[in-house]
Amino acid sequence: MTSCISLPLIGIFDCNNFVPLHFTFAGLFFLSAGYYSYKISNLMYEKKKFFPESDHSAIYLSYNLSYLMLGIILALLVSAVTLGTSFWVTPAIEWIAVFLNMNYFSFINLSNPFYDSVH
């Protein structure tokens, strides 16, 4: 829920005119989305024996993608602290992180019919 509310607010409060709000909402978004992707992927991975064999490759891929997403979020944090936002690297990593996040949840929802029953 946090990521659904904070993502649009990142765009509304841009990093040029509303620096504290932009970074607050970006932090909330990336922490909540990263945590949820990590948690749901690990749950599916731990319970993969209860899923059909045909879904195991999608579970492995979502498990690996969640760690990739956490790595990109960490790279974003390091880039924002060391380079700031005026250099092109930080906005590019932020774009990649949002793009991966959106596609990650689309992928696990479309590739695994049991995604909703993991909880």
pLDDT digits (tens, 9 = 90+) for 63-72: 999 999 999 9
Tokens standing for residue 115: 């995604």
- Burial class of residue 53 in the structure, from the number of CB atoms within 10 Å of its CB (0-12 exposed, 13-18 middle, 19+ buried): exposed
Segments making up each domain of the chain, as ranges? 30-117
pLDDT tens digits, one per residue of 75-91: 999 998 898 877 899 88
Of the candidates 105, 115, 116, the residue with the CA atom closest to the CA atom of residue 37: 105
How much of the chain exceeds pLDDT 90, in percent? 26
